[in-house]
A and B are shown apart, each in its own frame.
Chain A
């Protein structure tokens, strides 16, 4: 599926005979409500729901656990042949052992049910959040250029203007 799905708040994939999640499932990461019931799903592999930060209601077949475990959800209820996973918990909050310790300059952010990511904090950016703020290129260039030009001219005037090229090349 090469097409890019437009943001879908609700996605009904019930009764689609899905044995596994489709490969482009990740493109539905904006879904708020997602229905996977009536599918012969065996299990949901880890990380299938990476990026599903908006998801508030997920209905899966009863045979399948809620992604991230029941601890990742505020409320897990079963009815009939379905299991309803409601309201993701923020894994960054509290003393959950799920929350990773983010490196310096990065903060934890939710990244789907039971999943978290480390994003650059504040003004940090770049690979591994090693950089902060933007280098003032114009200021640096103008200062350096001015100083260089001034010094070069001054020295040329005082030193080399009357210099004879006695030690010319060659």
Chain B
């Protein structure tokens, strides 16, 4: 029954893909990549920063390295462990302020020009990163509180990125084919990670401040380019707005969110086509109105849970690999890229399937069901790199894929559903709510992990039970996700540790390692 509506819509997508669409796709893709790259830079230079902030401590006290000003003059932290803890704290601070910022900047993005907000966010966050990493080093001004304040501001400014780029993409790419386009497009975070790692590793030998300088400058340049080149909506160049020109049933479909479980709505034609409202200046939707839109709260909660799982997996993977299989850290880092690859492919293919089916929720549910199986499979992966990489890619396919889909395509669906046609500026607000809730989920997960055994880094190597248990926990979380088909209350992890696992402590200590810190630091401490 989905067929009659789909055909014209798909043809419409292909025929109406102008060079503007391509440029918008690339600009939004790379602007978010650059924002993500600067986050990745921070985690990749942590070793250098913590050694810049601490005096050298050779194991023996008999030799104090001379000359003193060369080896021991910086005493922001007495040793590398405390510096690493502080860097982990900065990560948590960032996640929280990022989450809060997402709610705010979505609202701001819908009320002001998306292009201005996006390029302001990119340029100002580039400046903050420059202050944080480069200027303080040039001036030799090291102060914990100053760093914390800068990172709070950076989280707020960085959060302008995601709601704005999703909103712009949602304006340009209609529901037909949205799953596919957004699936492909949500590779931007992974590309940003690779870009950040590459930039950082290229210039790190000149000093960590140059890693920050380079990413900040490139991000600033990106902000300028976005300001000069981004068209936030087809309206700006006189192209018809999405849905306004599409005829008949295609129009209905293009503005209907693909999220209902019941599929009775494909044939009924009683949705009104509100072509008139494009003439008037659209009114932005309020925060609480946006929350009340059908599906927003549910998908937000589902995403909170999924992002927690996804982030845990993401942070913990190289550490697990090098620990459990004894593989070299660089190899483990490279191997963990397969998780990303799986996520990109998964997001794209599942988006495509959901486009064809014109439904997203069943695809999500089935994918998460498979995710449980793949996680169990992964926890029993043999000590073989190719096999492990394949299973990892499969896991990424089933976990990263849905995660990407909720944060991009479904957010765009929700923000452009029929109920907001009259006040069409809801996209950024809705995206902000979904991603903000997700980030809070991820941040709370970090904090809960952080509560356990502080300073127990030496035990971070953990035990096999710890690793395995961690798997089960993810599996459990995913199971709930699946059972309720996107209607989720994320289980509170901390209590489960104690309830379900007598040796929960191991797991806590293990997860302390995932507490937003670069795993390389931790490996160095072992």
Contacts and interface: CB of A to CB of B under 8 A. Distances in A.
Interface string A40-78: 000000000010000000000000000000000000000
A127 B73 contact: yes
A130 B63 contact: no
B525 interface: no
Interface in B57-116: 58, 63, 65-67, 70-71, 73-74, 112-114, 116
Contacts of A160: 228-231, 236
Interface stretch (B149-157, B203-211, B347-355, B414-422): B203-211
A148 B223 CA distance: 10
B434 to A, nearest CB: 22
Contacts of A5: none
Contacts of A162: 237-238
B295 to A, nearest CB: 25
Most chain A CB within a 10 A radius of its CB, from B19, B27, B48, B70: B70
A117 interface: yes
B218 interface: yes
16 contacts: A118-B71, A119-B67, A119-B70, A127-B74, A128-B51, A128-B71, A130-B52, A131-B207, A133-B206, A135-B203, A135-B206, A135-B213, A159-B231, A160-B228, A163-B237, A166-B235
Interface stretch (A8-16, A24-32, A149-157): A149-157
A144 B217 contact: yes
B497 interface: no
A132 B205 CA distance: 6
Given A135-B203, A164-B238, A166-B235, A159 B230 contact: yes
Contact of A128 (B19, B56, B230): B56
Interface in B201-249: 203, 205-208, 210, 213-214, 217-218, 221, 224-225, 227-233, 235-238
B205 A133 contact: yes
B133 to A, nearest CB: 13
Contacts of B228: 151-153, 155-156, 160
A131 B19 CA distance: 45
B20 interface: yes
A126 B207 CA distance: 9
Contacts of A92: none
A144 B51 contact: no
B276 to A, nearest CB: 16
Interface string B110-124: 001110100000000
B23 interface: yes
Interface of B: 19-20, 23, 27, 48, 51-52, 56, 58, 63, 65-67, 70-71, 73-74, 112-114, 116, 203, 205-208, 210, 213-214, 217-218, 221, 224-225, 227-233, 235-238
B210 A152 contact: no
A100 B113 contact: no
A156 B235 contact: no
Nearest to A147: B221
Contacts of A147: 221
Interface string A116-127: 111110000011
B206 A128 contact: no
Interface of A: 50, 100-103, 111, 115-120, 126-135, 140, 144, 147-148, 151-156, 158-160, 162-170
Contact of A167 (B27, B71, B207, B235): B235
A164 B214 CA distance: 34
A91 to B, nearest CB: 11
Contact of A169 (B19, B113, B218, B227): B113
Given A127-B52, A131-B206, A156 B66 contact: no
A151 B227 CA distance: 11
B225 A155 contact: yes
A147 B67 CA distance: 44
A134 B206 contact: yes
Nearest to B235: A166
Contacts of B116: 169
Contacts of A130: 48, 51-52, 207-208
Contact of A151 (B58, B213, B229): B229
Nearest to A112: B66
A166 B207 contact: no
B70 A132 contact: no
A53 to B, nearest CB: 12
B217 to A, nearest CB: 6
B23 A155 contact: yes
Nearest to B68: A117
Nearest to B229: A155
Contacts of B221: 144, 147-148
B70 A129 contact: yes
A152 B207 contact: no
Contacts of B48: 130
Contact of A103 (B56, B213, B238): B56
A165 B112 CA distance: 12
Top 7 A-B residue pairs of the complex, sorted by shortest distance between their CB atoms? A155-B229, A152-B228, A117-B66, A135-B206, A148-B221, A131-B207, A163-B236
A118 B206 contact: no
A21 to B, nearest CB: 19
A92 B212 CA distance: 37
Given A153-B228, A160-B228, 6 more contacts: A103-B56, A120-B70, A128-B56, A130-B48, A155-B229, A160-B229
Nearest to A111: B66
A144 B48 CA distance: 25
Contacts of B206: 131-135
A147 B27 CA distance: 15
A167 B231 contact: no
Contacts of A167: 113-114, 232-233, 235-236
B233 A159 contact: no
Contacts of B205: 131-133
Contact of B224 (A100, A148, A168): A148
Nearest to A162: B237
A169 B236 contact: no
Contacts of A165: 113, 236
A117 to B, nearest CB: 4
